[in-house]
Amino acid sequence: MNNGVAYLRIQDDRDDSIVVTGDFNVSNYSMIKVEYWFFMLAFDGNEDFFLEYSTNTGSSWVEVQQYARGTVYENDNYYNPMEEFPVPNGATNMRIRFRCNADNRKDRIFIDDVEVEGLLS
């Protein structure tokens, strides 16, 4: 899509419409930065996707950002968001996930060039 030969694709809102990292150690960081590219295709005005994290191996998730079509995001455009969020006190491991919330298999998000970085305060 944006760079290279491969990308992540999520679509509609089925349970398998997510992309999740494995656990990574965050105990030495105060902030996490996630930067990536995405392309939205065939989304209606009430459809969106989310960037989320978990510090309990995926038992629960915290929303970092919601990307809703018709706000500042539109179909058929590339976007390059950069999100920073604090590491919760006492957290040692974290997972990042992208989750789609749409109503049709034709509604797709293409994600590319994902970079996750730990930051010190």
- pLDDT at position 83 is 98
Q: Which residue has the tokens 């930067």?
A: 35
Question: For the chain, what are the domain ranges?
Answer: 8-119
Residue 62 pLDDT exceeds 70: yes
Residues whose CB falls within 8 Å of the CB of residue 48, separated by 6 or more in sequence, listed in order: 66, 67, 68, 69, 101, 102
**Interval 56-67 mean pLDDT:** 97
Single-letter code of the amino acid located at 17: S
Residue 3 pLDDT exceeds 80: no
**Interval 22-46 mean pLDDT:** 95
- pLDDT at position 2 is 59
Q: Does domain 8-119 have CATH number 2.60.120.260?
A: yes
Residue 14 pLDDT exceeds 90: no
> C-alpha angle with apex 46: 40 to 47, nearest 5 degrees?
35
